[in-house]
Amino acid sequence: MNEHFSGVTSFDIFLLASPEVLLDPTQIEQTAAWESELESLDWVTKVRGVTSIYRAIDSAIWYRTESGLPPTFAAARASVDWARQMQESNVRSVINDTRNQIRVRVMVNATGFREVARLSESAERLARERLDPQITVEAGGSYWLIGRVIGDIVRSQTRGLGFCVASLFVIMMLGLRSLRVGLLAQLPNVLPAITMMGSVAWTQQFPVKRCRIQKVC
């Protein structure tokens, strides 16, 4: 599945707040620092957000700032408007028309759905730690969604299996009037489930480890 149908592996981090917060120069600097910190991680290959638009415009008009980011709210807003006139679709992919939502795309070298979902949670936690508390941080993307769904299914199946095993144990123990025999009677039920879950976990993790060793993601 991963080898034949997966393309560029990525997930999105959505930053939601009022335009006055998202386009505030201090917040833009914090967002750029968070993106740089993300990009320095081993499992991240590239980060693309609205700060890349600011830096592209800085190369053309020069903000006169060391960071290459707009120094005022008015400059940030004008930069977004100007960039939208030149490349509307590209700008809309990272910041919406009302300027209250920014999408940061994070490309990673993992290939497993559950692995990508776990990495997105790490990036989400880092954003909450680094950015203004007024900003709502949410992860998204197809890989993130599928990974979360798989995780929920695994957790629900595990809880269901645990409930069944516990119920059968109580019934067998009361029926046979022996704690030892009740425990032994669970082996035929538990061993196949453990084998199946172990096989799924191994096959899900193996492509990720192989990908990291070969450095070809």
128 shares a domain with 86: yes
112 shares a domain with 181: no
Pick from 110, 141, 172: which residue ends a domain? Answer: 141
Pick from 141, 158, 188: which residue ends a domain? Answer: 141
169 shares a domain with 135: no
120 shares a domain with 34: yes
pLDDT score at 213: 32
126 shares a domain with 157: no
- pLDDT tens per residue, the chain (217 residues)? 555 555 568 899 999 999 999 999 999 999 999 999 999 998 899 999 999 999 988 888 888 888 899 999 999 999 999 998 888 888 989 999 999 999 999 999 887 788 888 899 999 999 999 999 999 999 998 888 888 888 888 778 778 777 887 887 788 778 777 788 777 777 777 777 777 777 766 765 544 443 333 333 3
Domain assignment of residue 152, given as a range: 147-214
pLDDT score at 209: 41
Pick from 141, 159, 184: which residue ends a domain? Answer: 141
125 shares a domain with 110: yes
17 shares a domain with 122: yes
Total structural domains in the chain?
Answer: 2
Q: Which string of DSSP letters, residue by residue, matches the chain?
A: -HHHH--S-EEEEEEE--HHHHT-HHHHHHHHHHHHHHHTSTTEEEEE-HHHHHHHHHHHH----TTSS-SSHHHHHHHHHHHHHH-HHHHHTTB-TTS-EEEEEEEES---HHHHHHHHHHHHHHHHHHS-TTSEEEEESHHHHHHHHHHHHHHHHHHHHHHHHHHHHHHHHHHHT-HHHHHHTTHHHHHHHHHHHHHHHHHHHHHHHHHHHHT--
